[in-house]
Amino acid sequence: DIHMTQSPSSLSASVGDRVTITCQASPDIMNYLNWYQHQPGKAPKLLIYDASNLKEGVPPRFSGSGSGTLFTFTIIGLQPEDIATYYCQQYYNLPYTFGQGTKLEIK
């Protein structure tokens, strides 16, 4: 199975901050990488697909980059409604696997 390692596991930041989450894949997954937002009590939401493409309707403060084994997810200008756990997920191979998640809190 492809192993996804996400860091940090938790993060506290202030409104307006830039937030960065890293996801490492083993082995190489090219750009077959998605990012999801999961808020408590809500359905998970796909934000970024193919490592760097913003899903329609997702605010442009969210972005993704990377390829191969190292990927980055960034929020520029953190908003209170961004409180959630964020997950990376690979679809290069079955079984589809997720990182362990990054819980984002507002200071």
Tell me which residues touch another protein (CB under 8 A). 32, 34, 36, 38, 41-46, 49-50, 87, 89, 91, 94-101
Residue number, 34 or 73, with CB nearest to another protein: 34
Quote the CA–CA distance of 48 and 34 in Å, as a whole number. 5
Going by C-alpha positions, the residue among 82, 81, 99 that lies closest to residue 90 is: 99
At residue 50, φ and ψ (nearest 5 deg) are 50, 40
Residue number, 33 or 75, with CB nearest to another protein: 33
Residue number, 19 or 87, with CB nearest to another protein: 87
